[in-house]
Structure 1
Amino acid sequence: MSISINSRLQENFQQYDGIFFPKDYELLSAAEQKQLWDKIGSIYYQTQKAEELSQDVLKTIDYQQITGKIGGLWNRFPHDRHFETILEIGCGYGRTSINLSKEKNLSCAQYYGIDISEPLLRRLLYFKQAYNFYPSATFNLICNSAETLPLADNSADLIISNAVLMHIEQEKVEALLLEVARVLKPGGAFVFNNSFHNRNCPGHILRNLSRKVFPFRANSIYLNQQTLEEVESLLENAGIAKKCSKLVVEPNSHYVLLPEELGGFKVPLANGINRSLKPSTAQKAALAYSFNAYSAGVLDA
């Protein structure tokens, strides 16, 4: 199977310095979203400082201090699972996979990470040398947009993504999910944590109004929102349900009544109010900042 997967990369991609780039990389590089994420990737959080440290020094620092901790569904991921092939959509600098490998002992034989930002992928390579996550895996890093996945049909045992899909235009999300259904093995598993912004969330409604009033302050990295029912329809229409066990779509446990900033100005007390929210089960779908989606059984197997 790995030969078939790699043949797709060989046909349309060229590998330089550990990363596969599409043969029309110049065309991709001219895209506005690519340029935006390359810029973000060069200064993303505190990790831009990591390259200033030698590998020996970096190895002495707890990886969570450098990469940040993850939460949400990943806290529920079982220990000591092995998947032959893992695909990570929007892998960034590897934060999710580093944590899953180190904290949950998740392992695989083949790892495919795709991200549009070259600086983030280069940082992932740097962290791989320092922290050696997924130590038994062959790494295949792909610099490209994710709506066309260069993997063979029925080739991925586990597909993961963390807080990525809300950054992709709606029609491209639909195309991406069709690709997920294509490459996921029958009986395979997927976990999309904090992946779909909730259109009914009061915080998002107020932000949307603010963006209309102050369009020059609009955040161009957030490109789509859905209701819980719309997320369920997206996954069903893509055909993912035919490949895995029952789909689960649920509210993320981050609830937002007031956005922490509007039009570039801080909203007083918003953080404290949001943290104090304890919605009932019926209220969660309205107040949740985003939705998670996953295949039933993967988090408690």
Structure 2
Amino acid sequence: MRALTKNWDEHVTDAEEVSRSAGFQDLRDRILELAAPSERERCVDIGAGTGLLALPLAERVEHVLAVDISPSMCDYLRAKANSAGQSNIQAVKASATSLPAVDSSVDLVVSNYCFHHLDDEGKHCALAEVRRVLRPGGRLVFGDMMFGVSLADPRDRRVVATKVRAMAAKGPAGLLRLAKNGVRFAGRRWESPARARWWE
């Protein structure tokens, strides 16, 4: 399994700022809608970050185990939970591939923008962990709008071309972002999105 190279402890402020964007909040709301949490449930939020999903989830369930690989993200989430008077969130430094929960002890597992940071082996390990901790009839709901692309696929080429044109139209800032994304795509440095077919 390929180790992540991004130091998430350095990105707490960035993560909090991004979590306030309409796109992230819309996806969070959709995850909560699909998850349909109830007050007696025990839940896990994988890649909890600064609490975008864990905090509103905690208002609806008995307990949230919020796991993240960054101690600083966990500290920040704990402070936000304490400030909001939410005592049913437990923020723990842990990996998606090694969840700190006993077998069949969780009703619901959620995740938001985490799985694209795992390589394929990591995704398989994380899904095996989810199966291990979920009770029979438990649910997994996650949102991750990043999917891998193959330039050999005509549909993917059209999607990429549309995005390139849109970014280029933004002028120098758009061109800079295109260059950064090109380097990230070529190096697959921090992300390993799976193509939609991978999940079938």
Deviation at 1:144, TM superposition (A): 2.3
Find the partner of 2:65 among 83, 105, 112. Answer: 112
CA contact (8 A) 1:161 1:195 kept: no
Distance in 1 between the 2:182 and 2:20 partners? 38
Relative to the length of structure 2, the TM-score reads 0.70
Give the AA of the match of 2:52.
Answer: R
1:190 aligns with 2:140: yes
* Alignment of structure 1 residues 1-301 onto 2, 5 Å: 33=4, 36-41=7-12, 43-46=14-17, 70-72=25-27, 73-74=30-31, 76-77=33-34, 81-101=38-58, 105-108=59-62, 110-133=63-86, 135=87, 137=88, 139-194=89-144, 197-199=147-149, 201=156, 202-203=159-160, 214=183, 220-227=189-196, 229-232=197-200
Write out per-residue CA displacement over residues 258-301 of structure 1, whole angstroms, 9 at most, x where no aligned residue.
xxxxxxxxxxxxxxxxxxxxxxxxxxxxxxxxxxxxxxxxxxxx
CA contact (8 A) 2:42 2:106 kept: yes
Deviation at 1:154, TM superposition (A): 0.7
Deviation at 1:221, TM superposition (A): 2.3
CA contact (8 A) 1:42 1:119 kept: no
Distance in 1 between the 2:77 and 2:118 partners? 21
Distance in 2 between the 1:204 and 1:155 partners? 46
Deviation at 1:140, TM superposition (A): 2.8
Distance in 2 between the 1:76 and 1:211 partners? 34
CA contact (8 A) 1:86 1:156 kept: yes
Write out per-residue CA displacement over residues 59-110 of structure 1, whole angstroms, 9 at most, x where no aligned residue.
xxxxx969x9611323634777224311110011111122344xxx5121x3
* Higher RCO (CA-CA < 8 Å; seq separation 6+): 2
Identical positions, percent? 22
Distance in 2 between the 1:84 and 1:212 partners? 40
CA contact (8 A) 1:91 1:113 kept: yes
Distance in 2 between the 1:182 and 1:151 partners? 9
- Unmatched 5+ residue regions in structure 1? 1-30, 48-63, 233-301
Give the AA of the match of 1:203.
Answer: V
Q: Which has the higher strand share?
A: 1
Task: Tell me the secondary structure at the aligned position of residue 95 of structure 1.
Answer: coil
Could you say which residue in structure 1 is the equivalent of 2:171?
none
Q: RMSD in angstroms over aligned alpha carbons? A: 3.8
Deviation at 1:145, TM superposition (A): 1.9
Write out per-residue CA displacement over residues 217-244 of structure 1, whole angstroms, 9 at most, x where no aligned residue.
85732223222x3212xxxxxxxxxxxx
Distance in 1 between the 2:67 and 2:41 partners? 17
- Unmatched 5+ residue regions in structure 2? 151-155, 165-177
CA contact (8 A) 1:83 1:158 kept: no
Task: Tell me the secondary structure at the aligned position of residue 49 of structure 2.
Answer: coil
CA contact (8 A) 1:160 1:192 kept: yes
